[in-house]
Amino acid sequence: MESAHWLRNLVALVILFTLGWFLLGALDRALQRTEEQSANMVISQLRSALVIKGAEVMLARHGSLEEHEGINPFELINHHWGSYAGECEGGIPEPGNWCFRDRTQKETVKQGKGWLIYNPRQPITLKRRRIESDKPLAWKVTTEFADRNNNGQREQDERPTGLKLLPVSLTGEAAPTQDAPALVR
């Protein structure tokens, strides 16, 4: 009788452990989807703000789109995300946060232009790219242009048509903007 009671308790514990294991897996997948959706929403809203800013610049006719390359796109939105840390302090933001790394241009010593950086908490898929946790991503605001010959390079006869976020490779000194793979460290 006592061994039957002990066996029932053991079976109950195994069942509870198995259910807990599956529940933790489902919770982890839900957290991953939530972070992916949040990051994709932020990127989409920043891209929308850049479209509007590009249109404003083109309609105003007293500025150029090139003057807005490298700006902080978070400054274009009248919304304050808790995950946006402002200026990057110490290199990269905490996991799950965004920041803007200001850089100094060597030719003009002009500040206020740089890269938007996001540090994911866990492995996620962002805009169809698989990103590992603690591998920060970077983007730069650049001009979009009418690429008539589809070579990805802007020639003098191809006019700028707006502003866009372009993934860049985050390195210590520079981030090339030519279709960089967007990863880091």
Q: How many domains does the chain have?
A: 1
User: Residue 16 region, left (φ>0) first, then alpha (ψ -120 to 50), else beta?
Assistant: alpha
Does residue 38 fall inside a structural domain? yes
Does residue 86 fall inside a structural domain? yes
Does residue 137 fall inside a structural domain? yes
Q: What is the pLDDT along the chain (185 residues), one digit of tens a residue?
A: 788 889 999 999 999 999 999 999 999 899 889 988 988 899 999 999 999 999 888 888 777 888 888 889 998 888 777 888 888 887 788 888 899 888 755 544 454 588 888 888 888 887 777 888 778 888 899 888 777 777 767 777 677 788 889 888 876 444 333 333 333 33
Domain that holds residue 116: 2-168
Does residue 184 fall inside a structural domain? no
The model's pTM is: 0.74
Does residue 174 fall inside a structural domain? no
Spatial CA neighbour of 119 closest among 85, 91, 89, 94: 94
Does residue 175 fall inside a structural domain? no
